[in-house]
Structure 1
Amino acid sequence: MLGPLLTTGFSFIATLLIVLFMAIKQKASFKQIKHGFFLLVFLFIIFYIFIYFLMPSIIVPNIILSNIIVGIISIPLMYFLLGNKLVYKAKEIKTVTFIGTILVLALPVIYIYSLFTLDNVHDSINTEMKDQAEPLSKEDTPIAVAPESARNKMQKAMSVVPNPQFYDLGKLQVQKIGDEIVYVAPLEFTGFWKFIRGQETEGYFTISATNINAQPEFVAEKMQYTNSSYLNKNVQRTIYNKYPQYVQSGTAQIEVDENGKPWYVQTLYLTMNVTDKPDLNQLKVAVVDPATGDVSLHDTDQAPDFIDGSVSSELASTENTYFGKYVHGWFNSMFGKKDVRVPNESGTEKSVTPIFDESGDMYYFTDMTSPKENIDSALGYTMINARTGKLTYYNGDMNNGIMDSEGAKQIVNKEYPEKNWEGSMPILYNIDGNATWVVNVLDPNGLFKQYAYINAADSDFVVFGETASQALASYRLALQQNPSAVGASDQVQPENVQGTVDRVLVTSTDDVQIVRFLLENDPVIYTVSTTIEPKAIFMTSGDDVELQAKIRDGATGSVESIEIEGLTN
């Protein structure tokens, strides 16, 4: 109850002092003072209830606003009650009017002041700039299931929950449990009367974020303190009652510890000076035990180890906005817009997409585009560490002339207009040295249908596949046939291969002939162009060859050099 008590108490103490001053000056009777006191207590209770449900953080703008509201309501009533039609002196009226004017003018002054401190908010972000963009490795970021598809499967599995009519799915959160990356979603009450009847929810669902064929698993774990609970069992109110001076960012999310116990996690921040703008260098995380309501507060990077996202997706989205838009302050964001970058809204969570790196650390990915309309090229992208809040911005030559995530989604959307299939969760990968958008293709019900691999530098270069491995293999084969594609620049090393040719296929593209062939007892599909070996088009079954090739996933091989017995030696 600390938050409502502090907010309400501060406002009414100021009002009480004014009322006492008025009563003494007017020589009010005991009866008048008693009536005034009871009226003030009544107004205090009403305002306390209002604050209890609204839960405004104790920051300067909110304190000023609460004083204005209390003053507007209570002081005229007290004037009427205590004055008893007495004539007030002009000096008294001027004093009260002056105080009221100062309070009323304080809000717009603070608002205007906050506009000119937006560059300070930008500077409070822990930022690193990297000129050389580094597209993500397909092996390092294994999330492959779009959240819409995961949620759809969880919804269909609600029948395993006791009294499923009481509940709906809460906020979907991706995290790493053990060695597996999963989506977690708690059960939440569907309304007040369901809460009154049930009192506690039954548990949460998990589903793999890497296996498109995985099915959800329900974990029974009673929870009394949830986002959808009411009164003092509401998670937001539980945190607010203990830490009312902090602003809560977004909705609390579920994270599961190594024993399978769920915890609600909420990102908090302090504001910048007297404004309501966030100080992004002062991030905290509140961890709530949903069984007991116990709350602990930590620096985001010092949160318990099982918490992957101590920085919420909402806070990450806020960071992107301040980083891109207010790089040179508010005035520049409105006029001139030098160095301004706009985060795209194509992320899966509040315009950001959670991913994991090769070390198992979670980041929020967002690509940035120009503020100029009708431009769908990417300027770079940000990666925000989900535990520290550190923002790393990548740009450089790789991103010159490539499409942004919205452009990639539109390519998918136009591919199947009759089926209303749409693109979701676009992530920029490095596929054999080529910047590539990998997009989930979903039907109107959120069910997964295909993967789309789109060359970020060529909107006409698109490959679809029903599985990740199939789409990736097809895309690599298409790259090897495209003479304009960048050569493989990943870490795959050339291998020496000897064998006898089994099958050969010759195709042509842009005046360059591409030879694909199989070797006996070898599953790899090898590809060589005539720019590497012109005589390769004369290769036939039974030829013995020696070659060097970069072989990926044991499926495709890009030939770097080749010797064909009887032709090249």
Structure 2
Amino acid sequence: MYYLLALLFLSLNPFLWSAHAKKKSFLRLQITRLIVGVLILFSLDYFLLIDHSSQAFTLWGLIFIAFSLFIDLFYLNVKGYKIFATLFLSSILIILYLVFIYPLTITSDKYEFVAAKTTIAEIEDESTNEKHIAVVPEKYARYRSEKKLGELAHASYYDLGDSTLQKIDDHLYWVTPIEYTGFFRWLKGQEVPGYIKMSAEDENEDAILVESSMKYVPSAYFQDDLQRLVRSKNKDTVLLEASFEPDDEDKAYYVVPYGYYNKFRQITDIKGIYIIDPATGKVEEHTMDNIPEFIDHVIPTSVAEDWNEWYGKYVHGFWNTLFAKEDMKLPTTWEGEDEVNGVFNNDLQLNWFTDFTRPKTDSGSMVGYSMLNAKNGKLTFYTEANGSLNGKSAINVAEKTFRAQKYEAGTPLLYTIYGQFTWVVPLMDSNHVLREIMLINAKDEKVYSYHTEKTKLFNDYKYALATLLKDDKTVPNDLAIKEKVSGVISFVYKSEVENSTVVKFMIEGNKTIFQVSSIDFPYSIFLDKGMQATIEYINTDETIASVENLVIDEQELK
């Protein structure tokens, strides 16, 4: 059925056939055109892997008809020339309309398609578990993975594939499949040796090479090409980008989402996935209501980017994007980076995150952000972040903080941490080595913490929130408990810092080191071992705690 489209490459003008049918040169030309048509159809099927759907056949059929009519126009003195010249121009106009004009007429349909999947919310129900916040940036993970790749025998045969954030056995990893570097390496290599994973939660863990021989991969050729393998078994569906998905036992799989086009190939409606065993080539189909638990990536980033753009840009149709721009909001764009980034929630469900800004290039604040569930495609748009720092502003804050070191900020991600919208920004040197991790409060850029050690990073941020935002009612009351303690001072240490004296001391029976500045409490410079004192402080479970209020027994000061 598919190759019958090659008949459209033959002359479509019946008057041309009646005038030249007995000429061998004409017949040879028709045979040549038919062969060319078959070769083009073979190339579209084998190399471009087009879907065998009615919409695809219609579009390509129109292109073939236009091509055939154009060739026929070289026969000038044939009856019906003007009619078929008009048909040629008409076919060109129809193709141009379908490709360039028609998409603009269905912008409201695109918005409605996404709006049907969308829920509006003010703020996430609960703060993110800091244990499962990915603090390791992709560039650093790839830097470490490159070093691990270099340890392979015949390392020149292989290269790193696309790195993706994955949940494996309730831990977040950057997972990078190994790919061939080219055609001749594929011929010699036969199979790739496995993949590399690195913790996204702990920058101190080493990258790990997981040995898992794979024959069917995206960088293979001919019958070993992953997408070609899937297409050979599924001709009618639209195939989307493959993602690499190990299960909880580190068994390697590839996932290829599939679906169908709506509105003449303008809206992708994902219906399920194909799971491929890259070692054996076995392909399993799973519909959207039957996705295995270990699969994180069903909605590709390209589809998520489109859906976010349609939701924010086309709220009032196409013309609104040019003139009034009422209620319009745009996802933040990143040069050379995906517009959406992976974030795992407390249920360890992968979501594609992006923040939205006003349609103004220099806008530094966001109007909200979205989380698109990467497994079921449901989108949640959060409005409470309106007016907060957007991602680009968070990068500016981070890079200015370390201007002297010339650190480069990685992709920022927004989490709800301790009830506060917080940007997590990794900072790397010019070699993509991770140097600092920074937490920046999205409401107040002066509230931040930075450290390379995750526990210290979050403890410092907790303290910054409790002290610098202590009058903010949105900060949870139990974030850092205010406590009062009285006792005899057992140890005292004093140091001069920028025109003030910082006093650190301990109280008998208490292991906390208390810290106070002479600027806040002038009498603190007289503290000494054996004195009786009463203090109030914010308990953040850290070893060192800053004093909120200090009262020295009056008898001690006489």
TM-score range, shorter chain: 0.7 to 0.9
SS at match of 1:262: coil
Letter in 1 for 2:101: I
Paired position in structure 2 for 1:222: 213
Of 224, 227, 230, the residue aligned with 1:239 is 230
Spell out, residue by residue over 1:392-427, the C-alpha distance to the aligned partner (whole angstroms, 9 max, x if none): 01112xx34321111111222233445431111322
8 Å contact kept, 1:498–1:544: no
Paired position in structure 2 for 1:435: 421
Paired position in structure 2 for 1:489: 476
> Is residue 448 of structure 1 aligned with residue 434 of structure 2?
yes
Cα 1:190–1:341 change in 2 (3 A) is same
Paired position in structure 2 for 1:188: 179
Compute the displacement of 1:160 (Å).
2.8
> Is residue 359 of structure 1 aligned with residue 337 of structure 2?
no
8 Å contact kept, 1:452–1:462: yes
Cα 1:528–1:283 change in 2 (3 A) is farther
> Is residue 115 of structure 1 aligned with residue 124 of structure 2?
no
Structure 1 range deviating more: 57-66 or 532-541: 532-541
Compute the displacement of 1:114 (Å).
2.1
Of 251, 260, 276, the residue aligned with 2:250 is 260
CA distance in 1, matches of 2:493, 2:110: 60
Cα 1:265–1:546 change in 2 (3 A) is farther
Paired position in structure 2 for 1:70: 64
Paired position in structure 1 for 2:261: 271
CA distance in 2, matches of 1:371, 1:134: 29
Paired position in structure 2 for 1:42: 35
Of 395, 399, 406, the residue aligned with 2:392 is 406
> Is residue 124 of structure 1 aligned with residue 80 of structure 2?
no
Cα 1:169–1:344 change in 2 (3 A) is same
8 Å contact kept, 1:137–1:429: yes
> Is residue 328 of structure 1 aligned with residue 316 of structure 2?
yes
CA distance in 1, matches of 2:504, 2:381: 40
Question: What is the RMSD of the two structures over their aligned residues, measured on CA atoms?
Answer: 4.1
CA distance in 1, matches of 2:248, 2:401: 43
Of 446, 457, 463, the residue aligned with 1:471 is 457
Letter in 1 for 2:78: Y
Structure 1 range deviating more: 551-560 or 427-436: 551-560
Compute the displacement of 1:494 (Å).
4.5
Letter in 2 for 1:290: P
8 Å contact kept, 2:368–2:382: yes
CA distance in 2, matches of 1:135, 1:536: 40
Cα 1:74–1:293 change in 2 (3 A) is farther
Matching of residues 49-448 of structure 1 within 5 Å: 49-51=42-44, 52-58=46-52, 63-74=57-68, 88-90=78-80, 93-110=81-98, 111-125=100-114, 126-132=117-123, 136-139=127-130, 141-249=132-240, 251-274=241-264, 276-280=265-269, 282-346=270-334, 350-396=338-384, 399-417=385-403, 419-448=405-434
Letter in 2 for 1:28: A
CA distance in 2, matches of 1:553, 1:59: 62
Compute the displacement of 1:167 (Å).
0.7
Paired position in structure 1 for 2:498: none
Spell out, residue by residue over 1:149-202, the C-alpha distance to the aligned partner (whole angstroms, 9 max, x if none): 111001011133231101100011111111322111111111111112223211
Compute the displacement of 1:37 (Å).
5.3
Compute the displacement of 1:23 (Å).
6.9
8 Å contact kept, 1:382–1:392: yes
SS at match of 1:261: coil
8 Å contact kept, 1:313–1:349: no
| Count of aligned positions | 548
8 Å contact kept, 1:140–1:358: no
Compute the displacement of 1:50 (Å).
3.2
Compute the displacement of 1:446 (Å).
1.3
Compute the displacement of 1:245 (Å).
4.3
SS at match of 2:162: coil
Compute the displacement of 1:266 (Å).
2.4
8 Å contact kept, 2:298–2:375: yes
SS at match of 1:109: helix
CA distance in 1, matches of 2:482, 2:185: 64
CA distance in 2, matches of 1:345, 1:503: 54
Structure 2, unpaired ranges of 5+: 496-500
Letter in 2 for 1:299: T
SS at match of 1:310: coil
8 Å contact kept, 1:433–1:490: no
CA distance in 1, matches of 2:122, 2:280: 48
Cα 1:143–1:483 change in 2 (3 A) is closer
Structure 1, unpaired ranges of 5+: 508-512
Report sequence identity in percent. Answer: 26
Cα 1:418–1:297 change in 2 (3 A) is same
CA distance in 2, matches of 1:378, 1:342: 9
CA distance in 1, matches of 2:178, 2:401: 36
Spell out, residue by residue over 1:241-261, the C-alpha distance to the aligned partner (whole angstroms, 9 max, x if none): 444544444x42210123322
Cα 1:540–1:316 change in 2 (3 A) is farther
Compute the displacement of 1:448 (Å).
0.4
Letter in 2 for 1:54: L
Compute the displacement of 1:100 (Å).
2.9
Cα 1:69–1:482 change in 2 (3 A) is closer
Letter in 2 for 1:12: A
Spell out, residue by residue over 1:366-388, the C-alpha distance to the aligned partner (whole angstroms, 9 max, x if none): 11111112211121111111101
Structure 1 range deviating more: 420-429 or 410-419: 410-419
- TM-score normalised according to structure 2 size: 0.84
Spell out, residue by residue over 1:114-157, the C-alpha distance to the aligned partner (whole angstroms, 9 max, x if none): 21212212221210001346684352642111111111001011
CA distance in 2, matches of 1:506, 1:483: 28
8 Å contact kept, 1:327–1:340: yes
CA distance in 1, matches of 2:427, 2:62: 52
Cα 1:77–1:492 change in 2 (3 A) is closer
Compute the displacement of 1:439 (Å).
1.0
Letter in 2 for 1:121: K
Letter in 2 for 1:113: Y
